[in-house]
Amino acid sequence: MKLADNKATLSFSNGAPSVELPVYQGNIGPDVIDIRKLYGQSGMFTYDPGFLSTAACQSAITYIDGDKGELLYRGYPIEQLAKNCNFLETCYLLLYGELPNESQKADFENRVTQHTMVNEQMQFFLRGFRRDAHPMAVLTGLVGGMSAFYHDSTDINNPEHREIAAIRLIAKMPTLVAMAYKYGIGAPYMYPKNDLSYAGNFMRMMFGNPCEEYKVNPVVEKALDRIFILHADHEQNASTSTVRLCGSSGTNPFAAISAGVACLWGPAHGGANEACLNMLEHIQANGGIAKVGEFMEQVKDKNSGVKLMGFGHRVYKNYDPRAKLMQETCNEILAELGLEKDPLFALAKQLEKIALEDDYFVQRKLYPNVDFYSGIVQRAIGIPVKLFTGIFALARTVGWIAQLNEQMADPEYKIGRPRQLFTGSVARDVKPLNQR
């Protein structure tokens, strides 16, 4: 961190002494006021529900400028990475800070490919779940359970252990997601195939069967790879902060990533694209495209309780840069699979048209976000809605690991311990039972 020339001065209207606070500068983005010594100097904490104005760490991985609609992985614009790199190159970048050269790329892809198998006992672990269990419930258990199988990579304070765990998690997540899907539908598991790409291998494990050879559709393969890249990391969001907080206690990497999976499950976070498809299916079941205009009018009415899912973003106050890329992919997939006239997708396109043209939505910058398009793409490919968040977890795993590794290597890191503004009862005595 670079110390700024200026300092912040906190003054109090009750006559208490002012407090001087250091200011640090990042390479880009807002400066931060260092409040670490605030409590010792003033006896007060800061109050910031949701941590909307608090930087809990310093990071060199991902930068977001919500006003400009900009997303950078290690300084590279997401648009360039999605068009010029594959997912495993992006993984290498997030983990090690630079894009790989040819030999580094080949070596990294080989290391990941050699770890795609999971311990055979994992399938018996799966059998403990009900067949109709939500895939995210299954994944939370499976990812956390990996620490019971891979004892040589559970010391989060050991860089070599973290390195091994990183490769294993990136490699095995597609296998686990596919196994959770196959288990839910009662189909046989498909072992990984090492001569396929990362996305192609996942497609085969998902949709292939032992009775016949599976042929990877290159358009679908490219679409999945792009989905993985666009979801690989997103700065200090809820699940990433959960992984960092969990890891700060010294727990093993698999447990920390499992905590991230659990947090991602929430409909306000990773479950947003699932919520978006559920919304589309609800509109379709209640009149379809003919009722889109009526639905959008309900959205405008604050008293209706109707929410428009897949539009707008908490961080991006402009267009989500990932949405532009996903929109291109969405159109390519629908054309490739001949689904342009599918009623649900036609309905989605009508929603998109209204949101991009209606002054109400334009003025509020409620543009379609990445969840809107990725949900449509995944459904078109044949991925069930319940598995959408599992795909998100698969992609985000590398970001969680990169953030976790960065934290553990930071000499300033401490176990997370948020403070509170206590509003409960003051100290009081316990009365005997007959006097209460």
Give the active site residues: 313, 371
Closest C-alpha to 156, from 92, 231, 245, 261: 245
The pair of three-digit structure tokens given for residue 33, joined into one six-digit string: 């006021």
Coil, strand, or helix at residue 35? coil
Query: What is the spatial distance between Cα 389 and Cα 273, in angstroms, rounded to a whole number?
Result: 8
Residues in the chain: 436
Q: Per-residue DSSP letters for 228-263?
A: HHHTS--SS-HHHHHHHHHHTTT--HHHHHHHHHHH
User: Which amino acid belongs to residue 416?
Assistant: G
The pair of three-digit structure tokens given for residue 42, joined into one six-digit string: 């003033």
Place of tokens 């649900």: 344
Place of tokens 């006097």: 435
Closest C-alpha to 236, from 406, 22, 16: 406
Query: What is the spatial distance between Cα 70 and Cα 58, in angstroms, rounded to a whole number?
Result: 19
Query: Do residues 322 and 370 lie in contact, with contact meaning Cβ atoms separated by under 8 Å?
Result: yes
Closest C-alpha to 170, from 232, 250, 101, 106: 232
The pair of three-digit structure tokens given for residue 410, joined into one six-digit string: 């930071």
